[in-house]
Chains A and B, each alone.
Chain A
Amino acid sequence: MSSNSALQPVNERGWRSGFANLLRNENLEWWGSRRWLTQAGLWLLILNGMVTLVMFVTPAVMQVTQDDNAGAMDPISMGIPAFFQMGATALAIGTVILVQGEVVGERQSGITEWILSKPVARPAYFLAKMVAHSIGIFAVMIGFQSTVTYGLFWLANGDPLPLLPFLVGVGGLTLHTFFYLTLTLVLGVFAKTRRQVLGVAMGSLFGGMLLLNIIGRLGLITPWSLPNILPALVIQIPLPFATAFMPILMTAIWSIGFIAAALWKLSRLEF
Chain B
Amino acid sequence: MLHWEHKTGQKTFESPKGGKHNMNQSNEIVIQTRGLSKSFGEVKALKSLDLAVPKHSIFGFLGPNGAGKTTAIKLLLGLTRPTSGGGTIFGLDIGRDSVEIRKRVGYLAQYPQYYEHMTARETLRFTARFFYTGPKAEIEARVAETLELVGLAGKADRPIKGFSGGERQRLGIAQAQINYPDLLILDEPAASLDPQGRRDVLEVMERLRKYATIFYSTHILDDVQQVSDTVAIVNHGELVAQAPLEELLVGSEGTVYSVVIKGDPSQAHGRVVGQPWVSGIRATTAEGQTAWQVSVTDEAVAEATLLRLLLSDESVTVTEFGRKQYELEDVFLSIVKEDNNE
Contact = CB atoms under 8 A, between A and B. Distances in A.
A114 B131 contact: no
Contact of B111 (A18, A110, A119): A110
Contact of B132 (A9, A17, A120): A9
A270 B114 contact: no
B130 A1 contact: no
Contacts of A9: 103, 131-133
B142 interface: yes
A116 interface: yes
A21 B100 CA distance: 17
A155 to B, nearest CB: 40
A271 B177 CA distance: 21
A270 to B, nearest CB: 4
Interface stretch (B73-81, B218-226, B278-286): B73-81
B133 A8 contact: yes
Contact of A271 (B74, B99, B133, B182): B74
Contact of B212 (A1, A21, A25, A116): A1
A113 B211 CA distance: 26
Interface string A109-123: 111011011111100
Contacts of A118: 102, 127, 130-131
A117 B142 contact: no
Contacts, number: 88
Most chain B beta carbons < 10 A, residue from A111, A118, A120, A271: A118
Contact of A113 (B100, B109, B208): B109
Given A1-B177, A110-B113, A271-B80, A8 B135 contact: yes
Given A117-B77, A271-B74, A10 B131 contact: yes
B326 interface: no
A117 B109 contact: yes
Interface string A231-256: 00000000000000000000000000
B103 A119 contact: yes
Contacts of B126: 21, 25
Contacts of B99: 17, 119-121
Interface in A12-47: 17-18, 21, 24-25
Interface in B123-139: 126-127, 129-135, 138-139
Contacts of B114: 111, 114
A18 to B, nearest CB: 6
Contacts of B129: 10, 21, 24
A114 B112 contact: yes
A2 interface: yes
Nearest to A7: B132
A1 B142 contact: no
A119 B132 CA distance: 11
A21 B78 CA distance: 20
A161 B91 CA distance: 65
Interface string B139-183: 100100000000000000000000000000000000001001110
13 contacts: A1-B180, A7-B132, A7-B135, A8-B132, A8-B135, A11-B133, A18-B130, A21-B129, A111-B114, A111-B115, A114-B114, A119-B99, A120-B130
Interface of B: 74, 77-81, 99-100, 102-103, 105, 107, 109, 111-115, 126-127, 129-135, 138-139, 142, 177, 180-182, 208, 211-212
Interface of A: 1-4, 6-11, 17-18, 21, 24-25, 109-111, 113-114, 116-121, 268, 270-271
Q: Which 9 A-B pairs have the closest CB atoms?
A: A110-B113, A1-B211, A1-B180, A3-B180, A118-B130, A117-B107, A271-B79, A21-B129, A270-B80
